[in-house]
């Protein structure tokens, strides 16, 4: 059984959003994204994969398609295949996200 203590993997970078991989399988991957105030993941798309952001701590503005919404801890949001998506930390505190993506675009099919 593969396990990880998420709280021990949380790391922040002063220059850009930090991505820390927790699990990596052909079917999916799971990361923790850590954003300092003012940091962002630029809106982008993945043609053949879906992504779920789950807010562990903090508050962020999420772009999914042509919508934007501010979400805080306990909220999850889905970006379907081909949808533009991204997140910005516009708060004064840190933002920590659990992120799932499937299928894993880093593995050949």
- Measured CA to CA, the distance from residue 90 to residue 38 in angstroms comes to 6
What's the whole-number mean pLDDT along residues 61-74? Answer: 98
Fold of 17-102: Jelly Rolls (2.60.120)
- Quote the pLDDT of residue 106: 80
Per-residue pLDDT of 35-49, as tens digits, reads 999 999 999 999 999
Domain range list for the chain: 17-102
Six token digits for residue 85: 């998506």
The model's confidence at residue 107, banded by pLDDT at 50, 70 and 90, is confident
What's the whole-number mean pLDDT along residues 64-85? Answer: 98
- Measured CA to CA, the distance from residue 44 to residue 41 in angstroms comes to 8
């Amino acid at each position: 059984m593969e396990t990880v203590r998420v709280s021990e993997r949380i790391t922040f970078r002063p220059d850009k959003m930090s991505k820390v991989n927790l699990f990596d399988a052909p079917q999916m991957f799971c990361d923790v994204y850590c954003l300092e105030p003012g940091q962002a993941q630029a809106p982008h798309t993945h043609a053949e994969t879906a992504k779920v952001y789950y807010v562990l701590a903090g508050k962020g503005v999420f772009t999914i398609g042509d919508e934007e919404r501010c979400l805080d801890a306990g909220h999850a949001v889905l970006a379907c295949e081909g949808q533009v998506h991204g997140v910005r930390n516009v708060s004064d505190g840190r933002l920590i996200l659990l992120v799932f993506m499937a299928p894993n675009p880093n593995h050949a099919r």
